[in-house]
Structure 1
Amino acid sequence: MVSLVALLLGALLWVPGGALRCLGETGNPVDWFVIYKLPARSGPGNEAWRGLSYRYLDGSLGGWRDGVGLINSSQGALGRSLQPLYRANASQLAFLLYNDQPSELAWAADVSSHGHSKGIVLLDQEGGFWLVHSVPRFPPPLSSGAYNWPHSAQHNGQTLICVSFPFTEFTKIGRQLAYIFPFVYDHRLDGIFAQKFPDLMAVAQGQHVRQEPWNSSVTLTSQAGAQFQSFAKAGKFGDDLYSGWLAEALGTDLQVQFWPNSPGILPSNCSGPWKVLNVNQISFPGPGGPTFSSTEDHSKWCVAPRQQWACVGDMNRNHGEEHRGGGTLCAQLPVLWKAFQPLVKAFKPCEGDR
């Protein structure tokens, strides 16, 4: 006889239509989640934890929570969400793994012509998720056989956003990726997936947008009905994602966290109607909340000071990336904005604003 506990557990894990979704910290399906992997210096004192602790957020929470374990564990939200990719029955799934700094197992000599982009598309015939992140050499290709976190990504902070989408939304996602021109180092798009998503197939084969316009913004509706705005630009856009487009498109000032250790960093920009300000210090609120410099934070996100926009993506602000594809995923979800807005402890003012 099936126990009442087993029935209740099954009800909690049941997903309408069997759609693949992002999985939260307890293994239950969630509409979206964000993970902020903390820099090594900001982690707990235990040496074994340094660079592997993280904060977690999803739509059911009022704010950031400590991760259930370490980021390299298969029992957290990230590991659970990616487990289907490495299972024996993964042949029923379609996926694209892309990264301009791909896994050591799939290293390419030169990906500089491709977008500065990192992400995962994973779906079945009912739906799936798009996971956009900042993590070099992640995730491992299918041939590795298991989820793991790269040692090279332990020292610095990283961000990852996972959003569950219905099957039909992957048509739009494929088109956005055609602008971004990601370096796809592993993929499977067989049968119905190749037929339904020709743009995803083209992206997997190394094709990209070759005519104007050089940027595209689309509304993506999650499996639970939340609206996300995807911004994608091609290399020929020739301008900064944030000051050259995003701030005006959203109609707001932006505070941008990105990796400031690369060459040709763009200064804070106040030349237009909206200010784009470089974050240089991040602090999680609350007792013992870690505080760290952007110089040890490889994450890429931005937040509006007042307009309730928050975006998580994979692009920096530097001269080189003005001429590379890339993008970000934005939303006006109160829980998302309230989580990111207080993180900005300090930013670099524009020249003359001091």
Structure 2
Amino acid sequence: MDNDNPELTPSDRGLDVKNDALFHTLDQIYNNKTEVGYFMYSDHTPDNRTGNDPRGHAKGVLGFEQSGGFWMIHSAPQFPPLRSDGYKWQEKASKNGQTFLCLSLDYGIFNRTGTVFKYIFPYIYDVGFPAMFNKDYPMLRLFSVDKGTRQLHVQKAPWYDVIKLPTKEGVSFLSFSKYGKFGNDLYDGLLSNELQQDLLVQSWIATQKTAGDKLPSNCSIQYKVYNVNIMRFPGKNIEFTTSKDHSKWVVSKDNGNWLCIGDINRQKPQKYRAGGQVCFQNKFAWNSFKKIVKDFEAC
């Protein structure tokens, strides 16, 4: 799915083939011999480190040069590899469903990702930050030298933020992010109210330590939030439960044409964990995700 074809389309090859959009996007970091800046962050790194609280439950990649750059938000654990190790798909991530969202941003907009970092407070496991970006990207520069000792996260309420991120092609995205001290679920505590829509939420529930960790669907609020139970791809005879899907995405339930992709789950412990979602309105993209929801948890 991309801006020219906003429909979910099954690929004829796997992600382990170095000839797809994911590879070509990240290859700009791995094989770029010019002055390229990048951040790789994850709560589950390629070498099996975990970014524990207060670091966010967040996975992504920033890549940028003087003409602009990209921000990739994803759900795949232990991916991508360090730049020095070269590109390789993480086969362990193939076991469950994953999502990837990539935004192409102009140079002047890119520093807004530094503000997002203050709230999602990511665990950065690989970084390259040429000095040429010091002046224009001051917040990202601070994160580039952070060794875990600096308190670069937001220091006072409100513990959440909403940032507009227009892409190079003029598509309007909204980044919703929260720091752990927000102390509430991102979805029923922020997102549904901001979008003013009932929401269907897909997130990872298989690793919840106890049954009490699960956040049930919430109909006690003005804009209701429902957990997705089962997904089915029409015409493809592919069906699976949310316990087989590691992705984290949201669609507005009935209208609004909202689709969000991010990296934090609907779990009680993650009320107190940093993370976020990036949302946009597109009728075709919204419908493409909404129609794969076969069943959701009623209140």
TM-score exceeds 0.5: yes
Aligned to 2:175: 230
| Cα deviation, residue 68, structure 1 | 4.3
What is the aligned counterpart of 1:71 among 15, 22, 45?
15
Is 1:288–2:229 an aligned residue pair?
A: no
Cα distance in 2 for partners of 1:192, 1:265 equals 46
Is 1:243–2:203 an aligned residue pair?
A: no
| Cα deviation, residue 309, structure 1 | 0.6
Is 1:297–2:245 an aligned residue pair?
A: yes
Is 1:131–2:72 an aligned residue pair?
A: yes
Q: Are the structure 2 counterparts of residues 197 and 279 from structure 1 closer, same or farther at C-alpha, using a change threshold of 3 Å?
A: same
Cα distance in 2 for partners of 1:172, 1:180 equals 13
1:208-219 correspondence runs (5 A): 208-219=153-164
1:52-201 correspondence runs (5 A): 57-61=1-5, 63-87=7-31, 89=33, 91-104=34-47, 107-108=48-49, 111-144=52-85, 146-201=86-141
- Deviations along 1:177-223, one digit per CA (max 9) or x if unpaired, are 11100000000112122221111122331422122221000111000
Cα distance in 1 for partners of 2:279, 2:154 equals 22
Greater shift in the superposed pair: 60-69 or 258-267: 60-69
When the two structures are superposed, what TM-score results if normalisation uses the length of structure 2? 0.93
RMSD of aligned Cα (Å): 1.4
| Cα deviation, residue 94, structure 1 | 0.5
- Deviations along 1:143-185, one digit per CA (max 9) or x if unpaired, are 10x2111122111110000111111111211101111000000
Aligned to 2:227: 278
Q: Which has the higher contact order (CA 8 A, sep 6+)?
A: 2
| Counterpart contact for 1:301–1:310, Cα < 8 Å | yes
| Counterpart contact for 1:178–1:203, Cα < 8 Å | no
- Deviations along 1:313-344, one digit per CA (max 9) or x if unpaired, are 00100111111110010001222212111111
What secondary structure, in the 3-state scheme, does the structure 2 residue paired with 1:249 have?
A: helix
| Cα deviation, residue 62, structure 1 | 5.2
Q: Are the structure 2 counterparts of residues 155 and 109 from structure 1 closer, same or farther at C-alpha, using a change threshold of 3 Å?
A: closer
When the two structures are superposed, what TM-score results if normalisation uses the length of structure 1? 0.79
| Counterpart contact for 2:8–2:289, Cα < 8 Å | no
| Counterpart contact for 2:51–2:123, Cα < 8 Å | no
Cα distance in 1 for partners of 2:207, 2:269 equals 9
Is 1:327–2:268 an aligned residue pair?
A: no
Cα distance in 2 for partners of 1:319, 1:66 equals 34
Structure 2 spans left out of the alignment, 5+ residues: none
Q: Are the structure 2 counterparts of residues 266 and 67 from structure 1 closer, same or farther at C-alpha, using a change threshold of 3 Å?
A: same
Cα distance in 1 for partners of 2:118, 2:196 equals 26
Cα distance in 1 for partners of 2:125, 2:289 equals 31
Matched AA of 1:179:
Y
Is 1:315–2:256 an aligned residue pair?
A: no
What is the aligned counterpart of 1:262 among 189, 194, 207?
207
Cα distance in 2 for partners of 1:110, 1:312 equals 20
Matched AA of 2:195:
L
Percent identity of equivalent pairs: 37
Cα distance in 1 for partners of 2:291, 2:169 equals 26
| Counterpart contact for 1:241–1:322, Cα < 8 Å | yes
Structure 1 spans left out of the alignment, 5+ residues: 1-56
